[in-house]
């Protein structure tokens, strides 16, 4: 860390005050009032991010389930248990509610025996695969979790107390103690408050955080809560897809965030600027730091993975592609002559970048399906998908009051389309840092989503001198402060990084807080939030389009 210093020329403040000058007063190591100049920004050193140490301390305190590892996996189950030692084929399809989702290992089949993604390298019996299941497009669905609860009598390590329950202090044998995971696929994410800089020191936030309601009890818990000796905020979020990584981490590379002018974070390994697009709050700059953090927090490992383990995890993730392959109604999604952007092979072949909507469309063209070849169900479904693509890319509506979209110089409101934000080729993420306040976490918009009463509610109050949230003002009520829990900025309150669109049908529910149980719920939220005025046909077309990705 560098410290700025003040030339002694300016220490005689009284001399300059009449002329209206002030200055930072700080010869190095000085404690003069007003001294600042130390840059405290989130990030990582080595593979350890600033928040990892305090998170690790809470993870270490959380109880372990002694019999978790022994949880049986029934024959013919799609559940991938840690340490199974099975082979993950080069290509494999899994049945999901509306068809099949396919995985493609570009480097060929993988012997998972001893592989750190598939082996329990922590203390609680979990592996990375526990929450990133192949059958669920490398995320996990609430339906799969509910089935696994029944199959394992709640003993699978995925239900570990640390974050697979509403709070580690809750009675772990009760189903109700895991209600957010079982009903909405939400894991507890515990983050230090105040936020931590890359070196683990505290960042002074621009706002005060108060607990308004705490249905899980974890934010007010004496061991795990906000006022514990190791103060942590608990929010509840869905696991993200661990596949198609070249698209997720690519692009950008600029020194400044195009959306707010703030400096970008660097990859601690290379020194290069990263795109800050992984994780809901972009708290980890790279997949390597994410894996190291996840092993310490989610797997309750006593230490970070070895360099060799990390490399194997990254090698696996970087060659893995996931997408829908079959639609029950629409048939094969990968047949020759079909839309070019569907299926995992298309992702392997594709090139990351900005999907200019018509020159290089985000998901390719669907013209092949636009004109129904007959009145059969498959043809009509495919035509609906093609219309859905058109709605997604060309149907304008007014997008308003979205921080990090309407604040970036485009104006508020802006008449554009879904693809204005979802512009990255093949994933529909944002090529720029993708956290935005869509309203899914913040009141009043979150009130339109079901089950938010079961989530904690925080009152965030911007401190004097801090610029308020651009559209909600000085006081914001939120179920998840989002990026603001990392940056400490009012500007980031409730801002959540958007997720990729692939394999959606295999991994309901949707949104970071799992509040949209179905794709139709998701479309309905957007329709209401932005008064888009979609017709029933447009809504169904959008659902069908999203479902085949």
Partner 1 sequence: MRLSSVLCRMLWSCLLVVPAAQGADRRVAFVGCPILRNTTLPCWLGETGGELYYLGPQGDLTADFYPPEFRHKMLVQGVVSDQPRICGGLVLKPVKVSVLPALDINCNVMLPAAAYPDPPNKRGSGPSGVKGGALPPAPPRPVPAIFAAPYTTRTFTAVFDADSERLWRPAQVAVETAARYATEARASTIDILAYRASFRLSDGTDYVEAKSIGQSRARAIEQALITVGVPRESRIVVRWKTAAMPSNQLQENNRAQSVSITVKPG
83 binds partner 1 (CB under 8 A): no
Name the minimum Å distance from CB 384 to partner 1: 19
Give the contact letters, 38-77, x = binds to partner 1 (CB under 8 A), - = no. Answer: -x-x------------------------------------
| Residue of 212, 258, 269, 349 interacting with partner 1 (CB under 8 A) | 258
Q: If 0-12 CB within 10 Å is exposed, 13-18 middle and 19+ buried, where does residue 339 land?
A: buried
| Strand 320-327 relative to strand 331-332, pairing | antiparallel
Residue from the set 396, 450, 453, 463 that interacts with partner 1 by CB under 8 A? 396
| Tokens at 9, concatenated | 């020329």
Residues 305-364 that bind partner 1 (CB under 8 A): 356-360
Q: Which of 46, 108, 256, 351 binds partner 1 (CB under 8 A)?
A: 256
Decide if residue 36 touches partner 1 (CB under 8 A). yes
Specify the DSSP element, H or E, that contains 59: helix 52-61
DSSP characters over 320-381? EEEEEEEETTTEESS-TTS-TT-SHHHHHH---SB--TTTS-TT---GGGTS-SSSSHHHHH
Is residue 471 close enough to count as binding partner 1 by CB under 8 A?
Answer: yes
Please count the other Cβ atoms lying within 10 Å of the Cβ belonging to residue 84: 15
Q: How crowded is the C-beta side of 161, counted as CA atoms within 13 Å?
A: 20
Of 72, 114, 253, 473, the one binding partner 1 by CB under 8 A: 473
Angle at 244 between CA 243 and CA 248, to 5 degrees: 105
Match 């392959």 to its residue by tokens: 325
Determine which helix (DSSP H) or strand (DSSP E) holds 191, and give its type and residue range. strand 187-192
d(CA 359, CA 435): 25
Least distance CB 216 / partner 1 (angstroms): 32
Tell the smallest beta-carbon distance from residue 143 to partner 1 (Å): 35
Binding mask of the shown chain, residues 110 to 149, with x at each position contacting partner 1 by CB under 8 A = ----------------------------------------
- Calpha distance 202→220 (Å, rounded): 21
Q: Toward partner 1, which CB reaches closer, 469 or 502?
A: 469
Binding string, residues 419-458; x marks residues near partner 1 by CB under 8 A: x---------------------------------------
Q: How far is the CB of 366 from partner 1 (least distance, A)?
A: 12
Task: Name the site residues for partner 1 (rule: CB under 8 A).
Answer: 2, 4-7, 10, 19-24, 36-37, 39, 41, 255-256, 258, 260-264, 356-360, 393-394, 396, 400-401, 406-417, 419, 465, 467-468, 470-474
């Amino acid at each position: 860390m560098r410290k700025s210093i003040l030339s002694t020329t300016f220490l005689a403040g009284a001399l300059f005050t009449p002329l209206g000058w002030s200055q930072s007063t700080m010869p190095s190591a000085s404690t003069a009032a007003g001294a600042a100049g130390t840059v405290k920004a989130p990030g990582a050193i080595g593979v350890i991010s600033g928040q990892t140490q305090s998170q690790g301390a809470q993870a270490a305190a959380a109880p372990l389930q002694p019999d978790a590892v022994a949880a049986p996996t029934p024959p013919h189950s799609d559940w991938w248990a840690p340490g199974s030692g099975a082979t993950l084929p080069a290509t494999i399809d899994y049945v999901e509610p509306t068809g099949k989702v396919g995985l493609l290992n570009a480097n060929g089949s993988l012997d998972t025996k001893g592989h750190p993604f598939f082996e329990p390298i922590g203390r609680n019996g979990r592996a990375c695969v526990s929450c990133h299941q192949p059958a669920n497009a490398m995320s996990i669905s609430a339906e799969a979790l509910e089935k696994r609860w029944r199959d394992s009598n709640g003993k699978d390590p995925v239900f570990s107390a640390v974050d697979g329950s509403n709070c580690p202090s809750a009675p772990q044998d009760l189903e109700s103690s895991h209600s957010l995971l079982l009903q909405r696929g939400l894991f507890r994410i515990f983050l230090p408050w105040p936020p931590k800089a890359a070196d683990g020191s505290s960042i002074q936030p621009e706002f005060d955080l108060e607990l308004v309601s705490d249905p899980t009890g974890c934010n007010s818990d004496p061991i795990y809560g906000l006022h514990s000796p190791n103060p942590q905020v608990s929010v509840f979020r869905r696991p993200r897809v661990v596949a198609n990584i070249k698209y997720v981490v690519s692009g950008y590379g600029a020194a400044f965030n195009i959306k707010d002018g703030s400096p970008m974070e660097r990859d601690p390994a290379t020194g290069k600027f990263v795109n800050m697009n992984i994780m809901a709050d972009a708290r980890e700059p790279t997949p390597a730091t994410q894996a190291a953090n996840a092993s310490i927090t989610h797997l309750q490992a006593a230490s970070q993975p070895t360099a060799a383990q990390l490399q194997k995890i990254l090698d696996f993730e970087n060659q893995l592609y996931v997408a829908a392959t079959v639609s029950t109604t629409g048939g094969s999604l990968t047949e020759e002559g079909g839309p070019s952007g569907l299926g995992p092979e298309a992702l392997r072949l594709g090139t990351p970048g900005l999907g200019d909507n018509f020159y290089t469309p985000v998901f390719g063209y669907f013209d092949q399906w636009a004109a129904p070849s007959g009145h059969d169900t498959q043809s009509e479904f495919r035509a609906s998908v093609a219309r859905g693509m058109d709605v997604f890319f060309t149907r304008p509506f007014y997008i308003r009051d979205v921080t990090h979209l309407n604040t970036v110089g485009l104006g508020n409101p802006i008449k554009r389309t879904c693809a204005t934000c979802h512009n990255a080729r093949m994933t529909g993420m944002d090529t720029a840092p993708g956290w935005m306040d869509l309203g899914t976490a913040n009141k009043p918009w979150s009130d339109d989503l079901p089950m938010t009463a079961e989530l904690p509610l925080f009152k965030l109050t911007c401190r004097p001198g801090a610029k308020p949230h651009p559209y909600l003002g000085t006081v914001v009520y939120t179920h998840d402060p989002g990026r603001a829990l990392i940056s400490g900025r009012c500007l980031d309150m409730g801002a959540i990084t958007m997720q990729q669109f692939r394999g959606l049908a295999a991994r309901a529910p949707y949104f970071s807080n799992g509040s949209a149980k179905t794709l139709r719920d998701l479309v309905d939220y957007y329709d209401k939030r932005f008064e888009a005025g979609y017709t029933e046909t447009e809504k169904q077309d959008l659902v069908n389009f999203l479902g085949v990705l």
